[in-house]
Amino acid sequence: MKAEPRRRGVTYDEADLLRRARTVRARAYAPYSSFHVGAVVLTEDGQLFEGVNVENASYRMTTCAEQSAIATMVTAGVRSPIVAVAVVGDGEDPCTPCGACRQTIFEFGPQATVYASGDAGRPLVTVIADLLPHGFGPRRLAQGQS
C-alpha cells in the first residue's frame, strides 16, 4: 500500500503501522488471558513507539498494549501529539482499545486516528473522538484552574 499524506505534514503508511503492531504482538506477555495485543503509536514528529500487553498473576495489574506504547513514548521524553495508533489483537475481529486505553490515547492524541485489527478482514479505522465522545482531557482541566 502506498504512503498517504496526512494532516500537519505527517506521512505514514497505515498498513506498515498495522504490520508493526502485528509483529510486536508476538512479544506480549499474556499467560492468563492468552489474548495477545500489539500496539504502535506514531507522533506528529514522525516517531514510532511500540507496546504489548503485560499481564500479572495479580490480574488487575495488567498493562494494555496501547498503554505500554504510550508509557514508552513518555519515558523517551516525547510530547509530540499522537497522530495514529495501530492495535492488533488475537482473533478475527478488530481489537478496539478498551475504555482505559481510549482515555490514555485521548490524553496524548486528542485528534488521533485509530486503526484496530485482528487477524482477518479489514481494519476498523476511526478517530479517538468517536471512540471517546465528549472526552475529559487536559484542555478541560486547564479551564478549571484560576
95 annotated among ligand-binding-site residues: no
- Nearest approach in angstroms of CB 18 to ligand THU is 15
Q: What are phi and psi of 89, to 5 degrees?
A: -120, 170
Among this protein's residues, is 92 annotated catalytic? no
Q: What is the CA radius of gyration of the chain?
A: 15
Cα–Cα distance, 127 to 54 (Å, whole number):
25
- Nearest approach in angstroms of CB 127 to ligand THU is 16
Stretch that binds ligand THU, among 10-18, 33-41, 76-84, 132-140 (CB under 6 A): 33-41
Does residue 94 interact with ligand THU by CB under 6 A? no
Stretch that binds ligand THU, among 96-104, 105-113, 117-125, 133-141 (CB under 6 A): 96-104
Does residue 136 interact with ligand THU by CB under 6 A? no
List all residues 6 or more positions away from 49 whose beta carbon is below 8 Å from its beta carbon: 40, 41, 43, 69, 70, 72, 73, 76, 78
